[in-house]
Structure 1
Amino acid sequence: MKLGRNTLDRLAPEVAVPRYDPAALSHGILHVGLGNFHRAHQAVYLDDLFNTGRDHDWAITGAGVRPNDARMRETLLAQDCLSTVIEMGPDGVQPRVAAAMIDFVEVEAANGPLVAKMTEPATRIVSLTVTEGGYYVDPTTGTFDPSHPDITADGAAPEAPETVFGAIVAALKARRATGTPPFTVMSCDNIPGNGDVTRDAVTGTARLSDPELADWIAAQVAFPNSMVDRITPATGEAERALAARFGIDDPVTVTCEPFRQWVMEDNFPQGRPRLEEVGVTFTPDVHAYERMKIRILNGGHAIIAYAGALLGCTLADEAMAHPLVHGFFRKVEQEEVLPHVAPVPEFTPAAYLDLIDERFSNPAVKDTIRRLCLDGSNRQPKFIVPSISDGLAAGTPIAGLALESALWCRYCAGTLEDGTAIGPNDPDWNNLVARATAARDTPALWLEQRAVYGALAGDARFAEAFTRWLTRLWNEGTETVVTSYLEG
């Protein structure tokens, strides 16, 4: 049955449907980036809140700035902006239809419709999931890069922005001119200090065309930091077939784990939905939660990803069931990551690691190792390198993290140990393959990637450990090397 508002009452009884009338919702949030994570996370929290009868004036209007967003718009509008979300637990699945989204802005090259919707007074929050690499951060300096061609284009033609940040600048300028209070900009991306990073991107874009406006944005617009968490695999035929088991025809079905978490600073001058009623944590200490999650969970994904891939694993739970991968995960986390993570009210680092172990091992989620290996050039400097730097500064072990980095390099050579080709799996894949191939004979070439390693590139202790592991990986193979690490 084609998903739509007119078919909700005919879905299988085990499918949870909204307890509110989606047609009675009104717009409050404009969200850019309608991928799986957003629809399994922010949209589900709002769906839960609307089910309580509260805050029906905070519905989501979707938006995007890329060609793929236009295809997503067409698909979602055809099903009244409803999303099938299937929670995959070890003991069974729980399907639901979320209806927190009510419209999707037309996607155009100059983003006129997007700017117009942001300018509406009813838009009180603009939220974003534009991926870790979508904030135009110079990986060498770790700060916003105003020289990127996309950004300079917005600086030269601010009335026809090509990026989401240019669109935000144009809308804030229009609101300021009419005396309309500025909306809050809320990043929901998995990057450290995401609110601060977003402020830098917006003000940096504005400064290219209107420095005075940039100063006004910095002083008047709220950019709350947040930490978001839910494992959400990509959608394929298996996920669509699962929805069909419940009688639902939804080409963009989302599957996810049961666990979810959202921690935010409470900085919303134009108001916000009462998300604390449905489990969101509002706290000034977001960075402590963020550090724990990024170091242990996201770093943990990298730890199992490349070892798992090279040992022939295809799914995350399969990797966790592999004694070498699981042993590698636990030893690196316990000895090299946890010592640099502080507790939060809900978890000690050790308890959080046990939770992550359980979540990664969930056999129902079907998260692929290939997805976890994706985009290492953006993820390694955020999720792995900081733990190495902390270990070097504190004089604590870094051998396992150096091995993780060597495993990433070996993976980027583009073939598995049996010669099977690895398909492109990074925005910079061709360069990575060439560099990783050259590093087989000269490992130092890999560490010259300042965009990834920064000052670590010149650290003798790290370079020695990395060189030793990479040389052994090529000469002895992953199984022997990981076994050697585990045996001390």
Structure 2
Amino acid sequence: MKLTLAALHDLPAAVDRPTYFRDQLSAGIVHVGLGNFHRAHMALYLHDLFQKGRDLDWAIVGAGVRPADSVVRADLAAQDWLTTVCELDPAGDRAVVTGPMIDFLPVEEGNGPLIRRMTDPAIRIVSLTVTEGGYYVDSSGAFDVDHDDIRHDAANPDTPRTVFGAIIAALRARKAAGITPFTVMSCDNLPENGHVARATVTGLARLIDADTANWIDKAVAFPCAMVDRITPATSDREREMIARTYGIEDRRPITCESFRQWVLEDSFSAGRPAFEDVGVTITPDVSPYELMKIRILNGGHAAMAYPAALLDIHFVHDAAVEPLVRGFLDKLEREEIIPTVPPVPDTDLATYYARIGERLENPGVADTIPRLCQDGSNRQPKFILPTTRDRLADGGGIEGLSLVSALWCHYLCGLSEGGRTIAIDDPSADRLRAAAIAARTDPRAFLDLDFVFGDLAQNAVFADSFARHLRALQQDGTAKVLRGYIDGA
């Protein structure tokens, strides 16, 4: 059956559905970026809250600023803004139809409808999932004042091209009308996302009007958040699975892992829903949770990706049960990564990592090793090398961490152990491959990539360990080196 409000009562008994009614809801949030992650994460938390009969004045109005968002809008409009979320778990899948979104604004050049809706006093939060690369940050991590979109919005503040320009236009209108500013809440998976959002909004505002920029900096809250849930892209495979298993015709269903986590800084300009009542961790400081996730989860992904690729393993769940890859990861986490993570409130780090292991083994998610290998020149400096630096500073061993760097270098030569050609998916692919090939005779050629290693290349302990591991990989192969590390050879 086609997914619509009228069809809710006819859904199979195995499918959870809203117990609240659409006419009970009123808008409190404008969310920009209606991708799968948002609808399987923040929207699902709000659905759970509405199921309790709580905070029904915090419903979502969807929005987008790209032409492609119009296609999403049309698909969701045809099913009354409802979404089927299927949580995949080896112990049993769960399907739920969610309905916390009550509208999706027309996508227009100049973003007039978006600005007008964000000016509405009822809107108290503007939330974002615009991807990690959507915040107009340059290679140094600073706000990119020279980007064409930013230049356009600075020159045309009333008809902006970006979501940040639209946010500024709405905040200016609210300020002029004496309306309390809304909170800007980033839900993107990037470190210190609230600080990044603040820097982008105030940076652009400063190009338009310094007084407005100063007011935004003082009056508008930009809470940081740590978000976590594996949510693959939807294809015909997922649509067919939902139709076959649950009898639902959903144009944009979502499949995801059963695990989800949201840690949110309690900093809001105009109130918030009672997120803590549905499992969100509300805290004055997100940073301990964020460091835990970056080092243990993201670092684990970055560590297992290249040995798995070299061993011709395609799926993450297969790599997670391969003894060499899992043995390497478990020892690395236990002996070198987890010891660098400070205590996290109400969290046992060993238990946290054990849960990650279960998530990695979930075959339903069908996450891939090639995805984990993408963009290594960005991920290694964020997820692996800071841990290496901390271990060196404390006098700790780095055998496993330096082996991660050597495995990445060996992978970048472009050939798996089975002779398969590896396609390098990285903005700096040509430069990386050339350095990796040169490292066959001179390991220093790879460590001299300053934009990756920085001053770490000058540390003799790291450089010597890296070179030793790289020579072993070249001479003995990945499998033998992994076994030697696991056995302590």
Q: Which residue of 2 aligns with 1:311?
A: 311
Q: Is the 8 A contact 1:139 1:452 kept in 2?
A: no
Q: Which residue of 1 aligns with 2:164?
A: 165
Distance 2:448 2:74 in 1: 44
Distance 1:248 1:101 in 2: 19
Could you say what secondary structure the match of 2:134 adopts? helix
Q: Which residue of 2 aligns with 1:212?
A: 211
The one-letter code of the counterpart of 1:459 is N
CA 1:111–1:412 in 2, change beyond 3 Å: closer, same or farther?
A: farther
CA 1:243–1:438 in 2, change beyond 3 Å: closer, same or farther?
A: farther
Please give the per-residue CA displacement for 1:52-99, whole angstroms capped at 9, x wherever unaligned: 111111111122233433332222222222111111111111111111
Runs of 5+ in structure 1 lacking a partner?
none
Report the Cα offset of residue 174 of structure 1. Answer: 2.0
CA 1:72–1:208 in 2, change beyond 3 Å: closer, same or farther?
A: same
Could you say what secondary structure the match of 2:93 adopts? strand
- Provide the identity percentage: 56
Could you say what secondary structure the match of 2:86 adopts? strand
Report the Cα offset of residue 366 of structure 1. Answer: 2.2
CA 1:454–1:83 in 2, change beyond 3 Å: closer, same or farther?
A: farther
Report the Cα offset of residue 296 of structure 1. Answer: 0.6
Please give the per-residue CA displacement for 1:377-425, whole angstroms capped at 9, x wherever unaligned: 3333322222122112212122322222333344444443334344563
Could you say what secondary structure the match of 1:227 adopts? strand
Q: Is the 8 A contact 2:76 2:251 kept in 1?
A: no
The one-letter code of the counterpart of 1:301 is H
Q: Is the 8 A contact 1:139 1:451 kept in 2?
A: no
Distance 2:455 2:144 in 1: 19
Distance 1:274 1:73 in 2: 28
Q: Which residue of 2 aligns with 1:69?
A: 69
**Which moved further from structure 2: 28-37 or 217-226?**
28-37
Q: Which residue of 1 aligns with 2:55?
A: 55
Q: Which residue of 2 aligns with 1:113?
A: 113
Mapping for residues 363-378 of structure 1, pairs under 5 Å: 363-378=363-378
Q: Which residue of 2 aligns with 1:226?
A: 225
Distance 2:371 2:92 in 1: 23
Q: TM-score scaled by structure 1? A: 0.92
Q: Which residue of 1 aligns with 2:485?
A: 485
Mapping for residues 8-23 of structure 1, pairs under 5 Å: 8-23=8-23
Q: Which residue of 2 aligns with 1:201?
A: 200
Q: Which residue of 1 aligns with 2:102?
A: 102
Distance 2:163 2:463 in 1: 39
Q: Which residue of 1 aligns with 2:2?
A: 2
Distance 1:163 1:419 in 2: 45
Mapping for residues 408-419 of structure 1, pairs under 5 Å: 408-419=408-419
The one-letter code of the counterpart of 1:93 is D
CA 1:444–1:182 in 2, change beyond 3 Å: closer, same or farther?
A: farther
**Which moved further from structure 2: 385-394 or 428-437?**
428-437
Could you say what secondary structure the match of 1:353 adopts? helix
Distance 2:167 2:451 in 1: 27
CA 1:370–1:170 in 2, change beyond 3 Å: closer, same or farther?
A: same
Distance 1:359 1:114 in 2: 37
Q: Which residue of 2 aligns with 1:152?
A: 151
Report the Cα offset of residue 109 of structure 1. Answer: 4.0
Q: Is the 8 A contact 2:311 2:418 kept in 1?
A: no
Q: Is the 8 A contact 2:195 2:224 kept in 1?
A: yes
Q: Is the 8 A contact 1:87 1:255 kept in 2?
A: yes
The one-letter code of the counterpart of 2:229 is R
The one-letter code of the counterpart of 1:314 is H
Runs of 5+ in structure 2 lacking a partner?
none
The one-letter code of the counterpart of 2:117 is K
Report the Cα offset of residue 438 of structure 1. Answer: 4.9
Higher Cα Rg, which structure: 2
Report the Cα offset of residue 319 of structure 1. Answer: 0.8
Q: Is the 8 A contact 2:145 2:151 kept in 1?
A: yes
**Which moved further from structure 2: 77-86 or 472-481?**
472-481
Could you say what secondary structure the match of 2:149 adopts? helix
**Which moved further from structure 2: 78-87 or 343-352?**
343-352
Report the Cα offset of residue 430 of structure 1. Answer: 5.2
Mapping for residues 265-344 of structure 1, pairs under 5 Å: 265-344=265-344
The one-letter code of the counterpart of 1:181 is T
Report the Cα offset of residue 178 of structure 1. Answer: 2.0
Mapping for residues 384-423 of structure 1, pairs under 5 Å: 384-423=384-423
Distance 2:372 2:22 in 1: 35
Q: Which residue of 1 aligns with 2:137?
A: 137
Q: Which residue of 1 aligns with 2:89?
A: 89
Report the Cα offset of residue 12 of structure 1. Answer: 1.5
Report the Cα offset of residue 436 of structure 1. Answer: 4.3
CA 1:97–1:433 in 2, change beyond 3 Å: closer, same or farther?
A: farther
Q: Which residue of 2 aligns with 1:243?
A: 242
Report the Cα offset of residue 211 of structure 1. Answer: 1.9
What's the Cα RMSD here? 2.3
Could you say what secondary structure the match of 2:126 adopts? strand
Please give the per-residue CA displacement for 1:253-302, whole angstroms capped at 9, x wherever unaligned: 21122221111111112111111111111111311111111211111111
Distance 1:428 1:119 in 2: 42
Q: Is the 8 A contact 1:239 1:254 kept in 2?
A: yes
The one-letter code of the counterpart of 1:106 is P
CA 1:460–1:114 in 2, change beyond 3 Å: closer, same or farther?
A: farther
Q: TM-score scaled by structure 2? A: 0.92
Could you say what secondary structure the match of 1:18 adopts? coil
Please give the per-residue CA displacement for 1:108-134, whole angstroms capped at 9, x wherever unaligned: 343333222222222211111222232
CA 1:172–1:251 in 2, change beyond 3 Å: closer, same or farther?
A: same
Q: Is the 8 A contact 1:109 1:162 kept in 2?
A: yes
Distance 1:14 1:421 in 2: 45
CA 1:467–1:91 in 2, change beyond 3 Å: closer, same or farther?
A: same
Q: Is the 8 A contact 1:191 1:382 kept in 2?
A: no
Q: What count of residue pairs does the alignment treat as equivalent?
A: 487
